[in-house]
Chain A
Amino acid sequence: MKTQKQMWGIVKHIIVLGIGFIMIYPLLWMLMSSFEISPNIFHRAGLFPYEIGLANYPAGWAGLGRWTFTRFFRNSFMYAGWATVGTVLSSSVIAYSFSRGTYPGRKILFAIMLGTLLLPAQILMVPQYLWFHTLGWVGSYRPLIIPAFFGGAFFIFLMTNFMNAIPHELDESAKIDGCSFYGIYTRIIMPLSVPVLVTAGLFSFIWRWDDFMGPLLYVQGRPQQFPVTLALRVFADPTTVTDWGAFFAMSVLSLMPAVLIFIFFQRYLVEGISTTGLKG
């Protein structure tokens, strides 16, 4: 009986590892192909390059025309960084209002916020574009960064739940000691909600880093403003000949921030997904 159970345990591990290997194969293949300097890259099924070298990396980094990937990475960092700062700060302020506010109408506001959670961005794509066009913001990152400073529904939801779990006794005793509504936020709730702020910040950063549709709508015509995502798309334009080795090299670099975040902050990500169903 016992050996049978052990056998099943081993078989299970083999199955899980086997499927896992298939799952991760495309990513491994891309990583290995970024070191492939033989032009046979397309046909290879296996992982190991015919000829190993680093030449793809400088070739890819040279970028598009006048602009190298230094520029594109800087743009991506700028966009993801500012949008994340904006989203995290404003969402925590709003979540505090939903969690601790006592003003009339706050339940309705919260319900509206939940409603926008179900309202997909693509539905607003056209009208928002036209609105930002009217405002004269098209052609810059303003349409992507400025709205971030007015909260993100997912993060407000996540943070409100977290703040609701912070004992109310803490703010009540602070209040008795003369702390105002503002003081309770900066001295009690904000410091105690650091873990959820980190989770939100990581997700926001990854999403913005990966964002393709936003920059496609707003900075498409200006290569000097391209984030990495747009640069990669133009790099592998189906209508021209693509240097696949160089493309894979830049792809690997473009995925690095997300991979590093995964390696070092796994706990926060898993927490965020399992408690709220955030999409990773």
Chain B
Amino acid sequence: MRKFLLKDNVAGVVFALPFIIGFLSFTIVPMLLSAYYSFTRFNILRPPEWIGLENYRRMLTDERLRESLFATFYFVFASVPLRLIMALAVAMLLFKSTKMMGIYRAMYYLPSMLGGSVAVAILWRRMFFATGTFNSILDVFGLNRNFAWLGDSRTAIWVLILLAIWQFGSAMLIFLASLKQIPTTYYEAASIDGASKVRQFFKLTLPLITPTIFFNLMMQTIAGFLTFNSAFLISQGGPFNSTNFFALYMYNHTFSWGNAGYASALAWFMLSVLAVTTGILFGTRRFWVYDGGFS
């Protein structure tokens, strides 16, 4: 036995065992269970009851699902690009400064580090009350209308988008790391050839960091599609479902409305939406991502 365990291949598998066991019991089993539940009517308390494709058929006519998808896509398409643009813009500004880097990093990265917390989400909600800090600041500039930003279905989602953009710090750090890898000789050569700074940015910097942009875009899109905390804590999905993001809708079906079966079907639907979206992103890769490396 001892000899068997000491063989390199056996030992390798032993070290992989936690992953294998964990993957089977906390990913595969729940996924199989949820595939089964998606064909049932199930409220957690009573045993599931087989109803075939009923849950999937229900999605076709579910008006709230349509609203939820709209809100989710709106949120992703607004927050992800804006966040990446902010991250890249500030990374370009910070790129060459070394003296004050510590302070700058703290100012730009702290929001990203703390922004996902419950404390900040509720602070954010408080700030956008009719009597909140945001309106008081507008007041200083003479713009105050005492507007309840979270009470209007057009502006509520922007409160959440703003919170997401505010957390651009970690994307910025990734951009900074990748900007630092571009050899300075490239810029020297470009300057000698008479390329302006703007031209250098579009013809040199931007193409060289496209792999990083792609990576950021992927991760943030996936995370964006599943935003839950801010919608749950700040706007509770309202007003009029304008911030009823998909993860929140799924949560409510399971835990508030006793439709765990339908929620399971929704989870599978979301997984295919994500697969298609990331698939499309990957498909566009060869048109704009430069993979040539730095040599």
Contacts and interface: CB of A to CB of B under 8 A. Distances in A.
A193 to B, nearest CB: 14
Contact of B15 (A13, A96, A210): A96
Interface residues of A, number: 91
B18 A93 contact: yes
A149 B233 CA distance: 29
Interface of A is mostly: helix
Nearest to B134: A45
A43 interface: yes
Contacts of A252: 119
Contacts of A104: 9
Interface stretch (B28-36, B185-193, B284-292): B28-36
B136 interface: yes
Given A116-B23, A151-B22, A255-B114, A126 B254 contact: yes
B122 A236 contact: yes
B102 to A, nearest CB: 8
Contacts, number: 264
A101 B16 contact: yes
A280 B226 contact: no
Interface of B: 6, 8-16, 18-23, 25-27, 29-31, 33-34, 37, 44, 90, 93-94, 97, 100, 102-114, 116-120, 122-127, 129, 131-133, 136-137, 139-140, 166, 169-170, 173-174, 176-177, 215-216, 219, 222-223, 225-226, 228-229, 233, 236, 247, 250-251, 254-255, 260, 263-264, 267, 270-271, 274, 278
Given A23-B166, A125-B250, A273-B173, 7 more contacts: A45-B133, A120-B222, A122-B247, A150-B22, A180-B11, A185-B15, A277-B174
Interface of A: 12-13, 15-17, 19-21, 23-24, 26-27, 29-30, 42-45, 90, 93-94, 96-98, 100-104, 106, 109, 112-113, 116, 118-131, 133, 147, 149-151, 156, 180-182, 185, 206, 210, 212-213, 217, 228-230, 232-233, 236, 238, 244, 247-248, 250-252, 254-255, 258-259, 262, 266, 269-270, 273-275, 277-280
